[in-house]
Amino acid sequence: MEVIKSQPSWSGTFGGRDVIRKAEIDVDAYVKHTVSLSLRWSFVPFCGCIFCQPCRYCCWAEDEARIQANAISLILYEQELELTLKSHKIRCPCVGAAPPPRPYTIYATCGIVPDVTTTVPLSQIQKIALTEFQGIELLQFVYITGQSSRPNQPAPCASITVRCVKNAKSFRDAVLQQQRMISEKK
């Protein structure tokens, strides 16, 4: 299987939409973090995929992390943010090493992650956070998914979390700047 390197940040047109910026995943940091988590979870007997973490660490964590990192695409368009995860095989990831949008999910079985595309209008993004988790940066977008059923209750939200984005701070700033430009046009 050919491994495709992550694309650098760029502007242009893609699919008829104007691309403001494309996030670049730091593949080496992604691999290092995945292997590290796999090793850590190897010492916790009840975690992971029915005691598979030692095998994962020794046999396939590095290759799987490289494939997963190259399957991620995070693109900022003029009006929206789009996360695409291309389909790939996954073998028992540990907490923190699953694919976006929720890397803390544990998949109970081995299998194939389906193609997933999440598109969020920039006007629905309520919070953009840069946090650290075991030495890596996480870029998290919290967005509104619907309307509240009660007047005093907040609207339901969801989040997208992507780990190991190169220049995560400048990508976050580009999203914030684009949001400001949209709100000024209104």
Range from 2-11, 136-145, 146-155, 168-177 carrying the lowest mean pLDDT: 2-11
pLDDT at 94: 64
Q: Which residue has the higher pLDDT, 92 or 170?
A: 170
pLDDT band at 53 (very low <50, low <70, confident <90, very high): low
**Cα separation of 134 and 41, whole Å?**
13
Answer whether 0.85 is exceeded by the pTM.
no
Are 165 and 139 in contact by the 8 Å Cβ rule? The answer is yes
Q: Which two tokens stand for residue 57?
A: 């660490």
Instruction: Summarize pLDDT for 133-148 with one digit per residue, the tens.
Output: 888 899 999 998 887 7
Q: How is residue 153 annotated by DSSP?
A: S
pLDDT band at 157 (very low <50, low <70, confident <90, very high): confident
Q: Which residue has the higher pLDDT, 24 or 15?
A: 24
Question: Strand order in 72-77's β-sheet?
Answer: 12-14, 17-22, 72-77, 80-85, 116-121
Are 164 and 30 in contact by the 8 Å Cβ rule? The answer is yes
User: For residue 10, what are the CA distances in angstroms to 23, 75, 111?
Assistant: 9, 10, 33
Domain limits, the chain: 13-185
Range from 40-54, 92-106, 167-181 carrying the lowest mean pLDDT: 40-54
**Cα separation of 49 and 111, whole Å?**
12
**Cα separation of 184 and 178, whole Å?**
10
Q: How is residue 45 annotated by DSSP?
A: T
